[in-house]
Amino acid sequence: MYFFTELQEKKVLDKAGRAVGKVQDIGVSMGTGLPQSDSLVIARTRRGRKETVAIPWEWVASLDRSGVSLDREREEIWKSGHRAGGLLLGRNLLDRQIVDLHGNKVVRVNDLRLAEFDTQLRLTGVDVSQRALLRRLGLERAVRALGVLGIDLPERTIPWNYVASLEMHRPDLKLTVSQTQLSDLHPSDLADIIEQLDSAHRGRLLDVLDAFTAAQSLSEVDPDKQAEVIEGLTETRASNLLEIMPPDEAADILANLSRDKAERLLNIMGVREAEVIRELLGYGEDTAGGRMTPELLAVPSHFTADQCIGYLRERAPDAETLYYVYVVDDEGRLKGVVSLRDLLTSPPGERIEEFMNRDVISANVCDDQEAVAEIMGRYNLLALPVVDNDNHLKGIITVDDVIDVMREEAVEDLSQLGGLELSEVGAAPSLRTRLPSIAVTLVGGCAGALVIMAFEGRALPLVTLAFFLPLVLRAAQDIGLISQAVVLERIGGRELSAGELLGMAWREMRVVLLISAGLAFIGGAAAFLWEGYVRFGMTIAFTLLLSVFLGGMAGMVFPLISRNIRGELLYTQARFSSLFIALSALVIYFGMAAALL
């Protein structure tokens, strides 16, 4: 067994034992089995210029780690007109990116493992370990020394059967066996691989896959990277993939492209597909219309059960999913819904309108996506029909879309609580979204200093007050944060009526009032025992009572106000809430101290 880098730069001798040059590369032929050595590329420096020549592998008489011996004379070797075909190990594979089809990830080739069979070398695998890099640098002894110290750097060789190379430089080198292996991977695994590649290699990988598999894989790519993948493809290829994808997913990708780019791709598509996608792009991104897919099955109400089953057999392959059968009138208005169980158990000649469920739960195209998710969760639906203001059936939202909505809304709620957009990607967007929060923090610190400075002329025991300052600020801000989380969880994406808001406010006020009273009693008693001074205990007690209650109310009010805010300012509302609570607590604390002490 050899490693390619062990043979590279080794001496090459002719039949008479004279030096011919050094091993530069080895060419292998790509057959049905393991790649087999086909040619040897030799290099030498002559008169200050580097010369190379390729010879057939049949001229190799023997080889070992000290060098290669040939069965031809030196003059004949350098007159060889042989061309190195197939795959060049050093040029096409070493230090290149490959796809590990077993681990479903992109790795770098640090060395190549070769096995000798009847004077032929076969490529058995690629070494992607850090140990291979150290071996190439001549630090094998250092690796062994690390092993003695208990630091193990194991070899990690990927069998060639699980390798797909994406960096073939010659146009005649294409993936053959690997193409089938790539197509056999699950689209989610292919999506993981695509996300790890740069734009050039993404295009190569998608070119290897058939259009349907490529479209499925693109659907599973992280939404933040889908537009980036499309940008790296030719417009014809990108339009073809978008045309195959479900319309709602294609619309989401086009919405993240520039208007000119999206319009060009739509113009290349088929008329019907482009028309459907244009309609979806007309709805808000966070609405039921923006989330729905128009690929559904709806049947006229006059169909019999037997006619409906025949219709489903014919049209089912074109549908996004088949959980329910929706019933519409002649003008496309939603009239009812039929489960597959009811359809299969009904008499063949019975009309659908006689046994359909007329009490259909549906969403309007303008409904908020979070409200849609709540409806589907409440009624345990696998799909929800979406209608317009005239009750025309426009599409359906499936349970997998709802899972995405719930994840996005959870990230958004956490972002609002933390005052930072968690989905930010890249240095520039991260800096832009963090600057408002940093600015609020800076202003808050200066405002707090001004509040304390306003009491500078009063005869107050500032050192003693400073002992309990962290308690006052922390208690008020923590209660505000908890109230904010409770309100965000309760309102979700719903539009609450005035009565519902008042009811929620009353419940939260009672809880906060009890907490503030309890903290006031405990904190006041602790302050009295600490200093042995009743008025100081009363100062801490009244401060906690008022500041904690005010903090809870601020934590409830600020999320309600921020619902109408968009952009980066949405994520600063937590900072504004914290700033307001902190300044209010400081004013109450020092005001109480000035009044009682």
CATH number of the domain within which 272 lies: 1.25.60.10
> Does 546 map to a domain?
yes
Q: Does 491 map to a domain?
A: yes
> What pLDDT is recorded for position 174?
39
What CATH number does residue 335 fall under? 3.10.580.10
Residue count of the chain, please give it.
Answer: 597
Examine the domain organization and report whether 385 and 436 are in the same domain.
Answer: no
For residue 334, is it within any domain?
yes
* Structural domain of 271: 185-282
Range 557-560, long-range pairs (CB < 8 A, 24+ positions) = 558/484, 559/416, 559/484, 559/487, 559/488, 559/491, 560/487, 560/491, 560/501
- Does one domain contain both 230 and 379? no
Q: Are both 528 and 460 inside the same structural domain?
A: yes
Task: Return d(Cα 595, Cα 597) in angstroms, integer.
Answer: 6
Among 347, 371, 403, where does a domain finish? 403
Would you report the helix, strand and coil content of the chain in percent, each value rounded to 5? Answer: 55, 20, 25
One domain for residues 324 and 472: no
Of 250, 282, 314, the last residue of a domain is 282
443 lies in a domain? yes
Query: Residues 460, 582: one domain?
Result: yes
Question: How many domains, the chain?
Answer: 4
* pLDDT value for 177: 40
The answer to the question of residue 419 being in a domain is no
Block mean pLDDT (10 aa), the chain, length 597: 87 91 89 83 88 91 89 89 84 81 75 85 86 77 65 73 57 44 76 79 78 88 85 89 89 89 91 89 87 87 91 77 85 91 89 90 89 85 90 89 72 56 53 64 74 69 75 82 76 66 81 87 84 83 87 80 55 68 84 80
Domain annotation covers residue 173: no
- And the tokens for 424? 């930010």
Query: Which tokens in the block code for residue 544?
Result: 């906690």
One domain for residues 324 and 245? no
Q: Quick one: pLDDT at residue 175?
A: 39
Q: Tokens representing 172?
A: 């005649």
- Same structural domain for residues 490 and 592? yes
Q: Can you give the pLDDT at residue 199?
A: 74
Same structural domain, 583 and 481? yes
Q: Which of 254, 282, 310 lies at the terminal end of a domain, its last residue?
A: 282
80 and 115 inside one domain: yes
Looking at residue 568, its pLDDT comes to 46
Residue 563 sits in a domain of what CATH number?
1.10.357.20
Same-domain check for residues 264 and 302? no
Q: Which DSSP state fits 389?
A: T
For the full predicted model, state whether its pTM sits above 0.85.
no
Same structural domain, 584 and 441: yes
CATH number for the domain that contains residue 14? 2.30.30.240
Between β-strands 393-398 and 383-387, what pairing exists: parallel, antiparallel or unpaired? antiparallel
Please report which helix (H) or strand (E) contains residue 280, including its range.
Answer: helix 271-281
In a shared domain, residues 393 and 432: no
